[in-house]
């Protein structure tokens, strides 16, 4: 009887403190993994999609303005989608509380504007498969940085081993090519900087999610960050010639961004940054396979397969109990 009473009191406290948000909390680890896999699959498909978008819109490698315009439309549209869904769900105008706008703007600049400036420009100077694997730095940077911001997210020996194993895969993919073992600063180097920006944004997003609705966070960071990319794109004389295939591709990319960022923000709000971010290692797996299928890139080589196995091994090592 005493145990039942304690359980009742405990549930009473949970319902009182969490309210309507508590029923959304997923404790089942297999379902958590499924959501992480869904988000990373969508992001992995973005690599060949961006390449296809450049071909459809006839965006040249040095046309930075058009690249930023392309990215801005995608993310601003995604942000509007998320906020529209939130408005329908809550039957309220999805507006941030007083004082929250500056934090959402900061996140938008870090997560969307800065990250995707380097990402889009960098991807234009490397292959979709190679870019997706290098971008897996987004799995390692948070593992190292999170302990400085969250006491519960410790840097353990297993996490260090996981990072080392995964990083070896990234190094392996760069052993062949041009200067510095196939490493070009305006290509692979920019994608590394994009990964660092995203990692810092993940930490900042988790802090914001402690006091804000996760869909509000995802929606505004996409809308604000995307709008800035639009402004920079127009300022850089960017132009896009729209056609049916291009509109369909942009719609798909907007939807994938809306879903992936909403799911990812939710996961970050409920679990350790390092535990979730390590799933970013799956992005190069999906990116490489999809690049091979859609772009007809030569990705099924011994080096690339070994790299994929190593980065997947990093996931297992970091999450091993």
Q: Reply yes or no on whether the pLDDT at 22 is more than 60.
A: no
User: What is the model's pLDDT at position 63?
Assistant: 85
User: What is the model's pLDDT at position 18?
Assistant: 45
Mean pLDDT of 230-236: 91
**Residue 107 falls inside a structural domain:** yes
**Residue 6 falls inside a structural domain:** no
CB atoms within 10 A of CB 22: 12
Q: Reply yes or no on whether the pLDDT at 11 is more than 70.
A: no
User: What is the model's pLDDT at position 8?
Assistant: 39
User: What is the model's pLDDT at position 143?
Assistant: 76
Q: Number of structural domains, the chain?
A: 1
Q: Which of 19-23, 129-133, 217-221, 265-269 is the least confident region?
A: 19-23
Mean pLDDT of 57-82: 90
Residues 6+ apart with CB under 8 A from 112: 75, 221, 222, 224, 225, 226, 228, 229
**Residue 43 falls inside a structural domain:** yes
User: What is the model's pLDDT at position 6?
Assistant: 39
Number of helical H runs and strand E runs in the chain: 15, 0
Q: Which domain holds residue 147?
A: 27-319
What pTM did the predictor assign?
A: 0.77
**Residue 70 falls inside a structural domain:** yes
* Pairwise CA distance, residues 53 & 68, whole Å: 12
Most confidently modeled range among 16-25, 100-109, 280-289, 293-302: 100-109
**Residue 275 falls inside a structural domain:** yes
Q: Where residue 174 falls among pLDDT bands split at 50, 70, 90?
A: low
Alpha-carbon distances, residue 155 vs 47, 152, 158, 159, 210 (angstroms): 30, 10, 8, 6, 22
**Residue 3 falls inside a structural domain:** no
Alpha-carbon distances, residue 209 vs 69, 216, 268 (angstroms): 29, 9, 8
| pLDDT tens, residue by residue, 191-206 | 888 888 888 888 888 8
DSSP state of 62: T
Does residue 210 contact residue 269 with C-beta atoms inside 8 Å? yes
**Residue 13 falls inside a structural domain:** no
Cα 121 to chain centroid distance, Å, stands at 17
More confident residue, 174 or 223: 223
Q: Reply yes or no on whether the pLDDT at 21 is more than 50.
A: no
Does residue 271 contact residue 294 with C-beta atoms inside 8 Å? no
CB atoms within 10 A of CB 208: 22
What Rg do the C-alpha atoms of the chain give, in angstroms? Answer: 20
**Residue 14 falls inside a structural domain:** no
Mean pLDDT of the chain: 79
| pLDDT tens, residue by residue, 97-124 | 888 899 999 999 998 999 888 887 787 7
Q: Which of 39-48, 64-73, 104-113 is the least confident region?
A: 39-48
DSSP state of 96: P
CB atoms within 10 A of CB 58: 12
Q: Reply yes or no on whether the pLDDT at 207 is more than 70.
A: yes
Going by C-alpha positions, the residue among 272, 294, 307, 269 that lies closest to residue 25 is: 269
């Amino acid at each position: 009887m005493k145990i039942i009473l304690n359980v009742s009191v405990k549930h009473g406290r949970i319902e009182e403190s969490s309210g309507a948000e508590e029923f959304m909390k997923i404790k089942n680890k297999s379902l958590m993994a499924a959501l992480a896999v869904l988000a990373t699959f969508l992001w992995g498909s973005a690599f060949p999609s961006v390449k296809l978008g450049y071909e459809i819109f006839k965006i040249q490698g040095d046309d930075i303005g058009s690249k930023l315009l392309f990215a801005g439309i995608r993310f601003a549209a995604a942000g509007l989608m998320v906020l529209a869904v939130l408005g329908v769900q809550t039957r309220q105008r999805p507006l941030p509380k007083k004082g929250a706008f500056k934090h959402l703007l900061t996140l938008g600049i870090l997560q969307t504007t800065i990250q995707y400036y380097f990402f889009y420009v960098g991807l234009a100077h490397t292959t979709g498969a190679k870019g997706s694997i290098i971008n897996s730095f987004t799995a390692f940077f948070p593992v190292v940085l999170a302990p400085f911001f969250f006491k519960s997210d410790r840097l353990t020996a297993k996490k260090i081993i996981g990072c080392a194993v995964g990083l070896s895969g990234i190094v392996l993919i760069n052993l062949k090519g041009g200067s510095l073992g196939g490493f070009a600063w305006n290509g692979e180097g920019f994608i590394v900087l994009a990964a660092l920006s995203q990692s810092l944004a993940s930490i900042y997003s988790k802090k914001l999610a402690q006091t804000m609705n996760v869909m509000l966070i995802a929606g505004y960071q996409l809308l604000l960050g995307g709008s800035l990319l639009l402004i920079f794109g127009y300022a850089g004389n960017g132009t896009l010639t729209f056609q049916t295939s291009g509109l369909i591709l942009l719609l798909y990319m907007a939807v994938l961004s809306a879903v992936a960022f909403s799911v990812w923000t939710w996961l970050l709000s409920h679990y350790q940054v390092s535990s979730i971010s390590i799933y970013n290692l799956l992005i190069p797996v999906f990116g490489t396979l999809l690049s091979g299928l859609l772009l007809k890139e030569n990705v099924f080589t011994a080096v690339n397969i070994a790299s994929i196995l190593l980065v997947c091994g990093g996931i297992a090592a970091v999450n091993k109990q």
